[in-house]
Structures are given as C-alpha cells and as structure tokens.
Structure 1
Amino acid sequence: MSLRSEDRASDDLKARIRAKALALGFDAVGFAPAQVAPAAQAEFLAFLDQGCHGDMDWLARNAERRADPQTLWSAARSVIVLGQNYGPGSDPLDLLERRDRASISVYARNADYHDLIKKRLKALARWMHEELAAEVKVFVDTAPVMEKHLAQAAGLGWQGKHSNLVSLELGSWLFLGEVFTDLELSPDSAEKDHCGSCRRCLEVCPTEAFLGPYRLDARRCISYLTIEHKGHIPAEFRRAMGNRIYGCDDCLAVCPWNKFAQRSSEPAFLPRAELSAPRLADLLQLDDAVFRRVFAGSPIKRIGRDRFLRNVLIAAGNSGEAALAPRAEALLDDPSPLVRAMAVWALARLLPGSAFGVLRAVHADAEDDAAVRAEWRAAAAESEVAG
C-alpha cells in the first residue's frame, strides 16, 4: 500500500471512529500518538519531586507508567481522546456571596462523571474491536494517564495556566477520557497555547496555590484540600475556603475562553436542585446513613461523611451565621475527630467569647484526641488576643 493510500485508510478509520464517538454522546474527539513529550514527562516528575502532589501517593506510585503510554501498554500506537462538555448554565462564583449556602464544584452537582464516561468509552472500544478488529484499552482519569497532554496533542485544547485543559469551543468545562489502540492512526494537529498574557486564573486563586503559570501546588488548592486531603485542613487555608465545601471552580470560571462555552445538555451533568445551593444548616445534620442516601451516585460520596462534615463546618465558621452555632455545637461529641476539631473552629467564630468559653470548660478537658485538643488551645489563644 502506498503512503497516500495509507493516509486515506487512516483518514477513513478516523472519520468512522469520530462519527461513532459523537453518536455515543461525546462532544469532542481527537487523535494523538501514544506518547507524551519528554518535556511534559519532566514537568510531571518535577511536580512529584517537589512534593506538590500532597497526599496523592497514587501519582508517585504510577509515575513511570503515567509518564509513558508505552510503559502503560506497549502495543498502543494511537490514542483517541474524548471530551465531554459539563458547562454550567450560570456563573458558579455567584454562590460564593451566599454564605449560608454551600458551594459545590460544578462537576459534582449531579452524577459521578466517571460512570457515564467509562460506559461510553467502553461502548466505543467494543465497537472498534468488533467493527475495526482493533485491540483497545479504555482509560478515564482514575487511571495513570497524562490525559491533558494527550488531549492537547490530539487538538482538543491546550493546558492553560491553571493546569487544566482549555478548549476554543467549550472553554474550561471539559471531562476527558481515552481509548488506547494498536491501530496506526495519523495524529491530529496539536492545539497551540492561547493564554497569552492573561493571568486571571492565577490571580483569582483564594489560597495562592499557583507557584507560577502552569505550576500548581496541590497542597494549597481548595479542590485538593476538600476532596483528596484526608486529614485536618491547615488553619492557614480555612478562611480562604469561604463556603466552598467540595472543590473550587474559581480558576476555571474566570477563564476568558468561557465566552465560547456551552451549557451542557447531558442530563447526568445538569445540577440536582438539592446540590445547587444546599443550606449549611441542613448539611450539618447529616449522619452517615443520610449522607450516603443524599449523595448516592455522586462523586461526593467517595470522600465519606466525616471529611464532608469537616468541610461544611469550615464553611459554617466562615458564614457569620450565629444561627448555625447550635448545629455545630451538637457535633462537639461526634465520633470523628475530624468533625469535632472543625466544630471547635467553627464555634470559635460563631459565638461570643463568653459563650465559647462555657463550651470549652465543658468539652476541652474531656477530649482525648490530640488534634482536637490543639484546636481548643488555638481557639483559646485567639480569644485572648482578640480580648
């Protein structure tokens, strides 16, 4: 077969795969070689060496496999990168002013996107195997794949200064998934970086999590702190969290390229009413059984009730809503030290010093957890300084 004939055959295969992917509901399709540029691999390894991944040990465990698709699967020759639009219908930052309400990241206001995307990826892979005799492997972002670099190589967008993918057509609201295949498919043209001199995403970050353009320290990121971090959230970040209880959309929402974004029409990504602007007062009452029922099918369920209540109590402490104090006080006896510690922190901000002192006299000496006792001491010290 001549080179021109091979190109025509590749283009025909790509057209068929693209049409099938779009028919399955994907919003963007691109083709990349099964390799990651050495510069991107070096950046990723430097990120790990600096400890910027925090508690996400799974990143370091899979470093070599993540940095090289050939190590992940030696038979891979091409990667089909799929994008799914989850654009919101309104500005998610508007909710930050409603301090008695909880702000949940746009992507988590309905079903877990992994489930839907993996189902569609498997459907595409099955079709490719049956119709094109292709060997295939499916990956979504729980797998060790440098998907944003592959997406840029496939022409779906570019990795913006906030380190997430930006699309000319869909802005910053794009889920990604990949199908690795042994088919030799000609790659699409890589997308260029269109960020220019813009720094909006860097400057809006509440916790100053960016070390510079394209360089995120996850340990300072609210999304990491509220979702991935399993322990007590450092005091230096709590006020900056505001009412963000699961994730943070600030750097995505201010991207100027969102002027081209489209509201998602996928029912699984349309916000459930009870997750669009939930009342902190209601969330503070969740026991484990109710938490599991309310967040069934949601990515929020994965962090568990205790870490979720940890986040909600920080939002309560930032709210200035004294009416939330009784709900927080009821959690001083919670079985979880994570919850008790943040109940102390919240109450120190919701109650006058005398009322907080009464609670401290009752609860502090009986506390058997070192971290919770430290919260009582820190709150007392702050009260003395303020007094």
Structure 2
Amino acid sequence: MNRDKTNLVNILEGRAKSEGFVAFGIAPGHLAPRAGERLRQWLQEGCHGEMLWMESRADERANPEILWPDVKSVIMLGMSYAPPQDPMVLADQGDRARISVYAQGRDYHDVVKGALKRLAGWLAHEADAGVKVFVDTAPVMEKALAQTAGLGWQGKHSNVVSREHGSWLFLGAIYTTAELEPAIAAEDSCGSCSACLDICPTNAFPAPYRLDARRCISYLTIEHKGPIDPELRPLMGDHIYGCDDCLAVCPWNKFAEAAAAHKAFLPRAELVAPQIADLLTLDDAAFRKLFSGSPIKRIGRDRFVRNVLIAAGNGGNAGVIAQVETLLHDPAPVVRGAAIWALSRLSPEKLDRRRRELLADEQDPSVRAEWDIAAGDSEMTAR
C-alpha cells in the first residue's frame, strides 16, 4: 500500500471519530467460505424463525462480492451505546417493564446511516471510488465483517464483543471499490466464560455461538408478529422490547465507558423502566407519539401492547387487572389473545366470568384458541 492510501485511511479514521464512531477497521471485499457455511446451516435448522429475508438473500449475505461484484474493501465502523447503568438492576420490579438499552434513545438506523453517508461521500470524492453504505437493513454479515476488520469478535451470544466497548456497539458498513489494506482480524477472547449463555431466560442458545432466534426474547418481542408460544411467555419476565441479559453480563463490559456512547443514544427517562399500567393504555396515536424517533415505533402498537400484556401477566400486579380486562375488547386479535393470558395469570376468577361473556361472540380462531388454553390452565390450577 503506498503512502497516499495510508494517509487516506488515517484521515478517514479521524473523520469517523469526529462523526461519533469509536471503532474502525477494514476488511477485504470477501468473507471466508466458513462464514457462509455457518449461515446456511443456521437457516437450514430454521433458527431464523419468521425472518424469511435472511433465507431469500443468503448468498448475498454470505459474501460481499455477490451483493456488489465491484467491492474491493469493506470499512466497518462501530458506535457505542454503552448504558449509564447496568440494565440488570431494573429487573423484576413487578409494576415496571424493561426496554432494551439500544431502543431507549434515537433510532440507531438513522444516526449511524447519516454518519456513514457523510464518510462515504468524502471517500468517494477523495479516492474517486464507488461506495455503498449499509446499516442492518441489507443482506450484510456485519458481525463477521466486524471481526475480520478487527473491531471485535463474535461472542458466545453471537454478538460482537469489543475489548474497549464490551457488547455495546452498533455496526455500520461502507462497501467501496477502493483497494485498502485490511486490518488484522480479531481473535476470540471469550475463553471458558459462559455467563451470556447461562443468563438467557428462554435458553435460546443450543450451543455456544449459536442462537435459536425462535426462543430469543428480542426476536419474540420485535420480529414475531402473532401470538407468542405460551410455554415461552412466563420466561419473558418484564421484557417488552428486546432483551439485554446476555449482553449485560458480558465481563468485557467493564472496559466500556458510558461517556463513549454517542449522545443520540442517551436513554429517554420515560423509556427506562416505564410503568406497565401506563403502557397498557396506549392507543395507536399515543403509541406513535411516545415512540416518535425510536426504533420501537417500527413494530406498531398492537405488537407492543401484546408484549406489555405478557409482562403484566408475569408481574403479578393486581393493580392492572382493570386495564387488562379492557383490552379483552381490543380490535386487534393479538392484543385480545395476550389479554386473556394476562388475566389468567392475574385473576383466574375474573377470567372464567369473562370467558362466559365473550367467547360466544369471538370470531378469530387465534383468540378462541387462547380462551381454550386459558380454560385448560384454570382446570389444572383448580386440581
């Protein structure tokens, strides 16, 4: 690599830091074949659940050169969202719910993509190179590329772990036609630690480095659209959007400093352990207002209230029973179904009365199934 290219990379890294990126590295425009092999095995096992887009564009995801044949280098960047306090201190408060740290501030897609576009625009001008930017919405294996670029390694929880920033990095990628010297790949430093695997409430890791999304609380509360498996609901606790448990217990977090986090990701006070009772009253307009500029807005009010109802059922707070009963009449079947389950946990007596009142007029098969499940659970409890 000549001096001009070296200077170009140095200047680019400096500009990346000024944009709020704390991690920078360069990977070649291709991935080792084993990355694609692991992806295809994961897909064949059905571990991606309803995320069908991962299956439909697996080849492009497995190798940058298939997505864009002209790519020569991939610039990987990371922004910190290290939280000001340990997310685990907010667990199991009964009347409150937990929202994943990454969703307590502004939508990272907007923040990271804006910074990437500015960097890519500068690179295109200075190097007369083609560029494309990606943030979590294209068939790009950001984690594998981040490890190849030296940002960190994929930990046993399958997310990137950094020596400097722990498990709290948002990733972004710039594909470019410029030929840049690749960094030295990061080495796995998890050792014998299994803290992230042991803490998982739903046992979503069949083995180290392997995640079964179908059991992951983040997948269930964000990607999964219908009723959640009744066997998993009690294990979800107070999580209503995402889950930080496996990230929060990572020992490498002790090196992460909240001061390094981008200011856009500072938590909004109303999203840190919000009251379950308040969230149960949200209609569509109130939901959109509360989560304006937040990634939570993407899942819509109905799916979100479904999640809150599960947390209500797990919290055991009798003070929300009236609100749960109101949601038995909600227009959305997924909300009515979750309300049935929550009421079965909070007040089996009221559930039986409500079942007699509402079941005959219920037309949705999924909601009728919830009434049947709840009735069966009540009979088992009575025995």
Relative to the length of structure 2, the TM-score reads 0.98
Task: Return the match for 2:230 from 211, 229, 235.
Answer: 235
Q: Determine the C-alpha separation between the residues in 2 that align with 1:384 and 1:23.
A: 62
Contact 1:103 1:246 in 2 (8 A): yes
Matches within 5 A, 1:283-298: 283-298=279-294
Q: Determine the C-alpha separation between the residues in 1 that align with 2:148 and 2:3.
A: 21
- 1:179 aligned counterpart, secondary structure: strand
Q: Determine the C-alpha separation between the residues in 1 that align with 2:2 and 2:125.
A: 22
AA partner of residue 185 (structure 1): L
Q: Determine the C-alpha separation between the residues in 2 that align with 1:159 and 1:355.
A: 48
Deviation at 1:356, TM superposition (A): 2.1
What are the Cα deviations for residues 326-359 of structure 1, in whole angstroms up to 9, with x where unaligned?
00000011000000000000001111x3322211
Contact 2:81 2:102 in 1 (8 A): yes
Deviation at 1:265, TM superposition (A): 4.0
Contact 1:223 1:246 in 2 (8 A): yes
- 1:293 aligned counterpart, secondary structure: helix
Count of matched residue positions in the alignment of Structure 1 and Structure 2: 381
The aligned residue for residue 281 of structure 1 is 277
Q: Determine the C-alpha separation between the residues in 2 that align with 1:7 and 1:346.
A: 65
- 2:222 aligned counterpart, secondary structure: helix
Contact 2:94 2:315 in 1 (8 A): yes
The aligned residue for residue 223 of structure 1 is 218
Q: Alpha carbons of 1:265 and 1:45: their partners in 2 closer, same or farther (altered >3 Å)?
A: closer
The aligned residue for residue 42 of structure 1 is 37
The aligned residue for residue 320 of structure 2 is 324
- Determine if the alignment matches structure 1 residue 246 to structure 2 residue 257: no
The aligned residue for residue 209 of structure 1 is 204
Relative to the length of structure 1, the TM-score reads 0.97
Q: Which runs of 5+ in 2 are unaligned?
A: none
Q: CA RMSD in A?
A: 1.0
- 1:29 aligned counterpart, secondary structure: strand
What are the Cα deviations for residues 67-125 of structure 1, in whole angstroms up to 9, with x where unaligned?
11001111111111010000001111111121211100000012100001000000001
The aligned residue for residue 19 of structure 1 is 14
- Determine if the alignment matches structure 1 residue 300 to structure 2 residue 301: no
Contact 2:71 2:176 in 1 (8 A): yes
Contact 2:24 2:75 in 1 (8 A): yes
AA partner of residue 301 (structure 1): K
Matches within 5 A, 1:76-87: 76-87=71-82
Contact 2:79 2:262 in 1 (8 A): no
- 2:79 aligned counterpart, secondary structure: strand
- Determine if the alignment matches structure 1 residue 344 to structure 2 residue 334: no
- 2:360 aligned counterpart, secondary structure: coil
- 1:364 aligned counterpart, secondary structure: helix
Percent identity of the aligned residues? Answer: 58
The aligned residue for residue 108 of structure 2 is 113
AA partner of residue 47 (structure 1): W
Deviation at 1:7, TM superposition (A): 4.0
Q: Determine the C-alpha separation between the residues in 2 that align with 1:265 and 1:211.
A: 32
- 2:232 aligned counterpart, secondary structure: helix
- Determine if the alignment matches structure 1 residue 365 to structure 2 residue 367: no
Q: Determine the C-alpha separation between the residues in 1 that align with 2:317 and 2:308.
A: 13
Q: Which runs of 5+ in 1 are unaligned?
A: 1-5
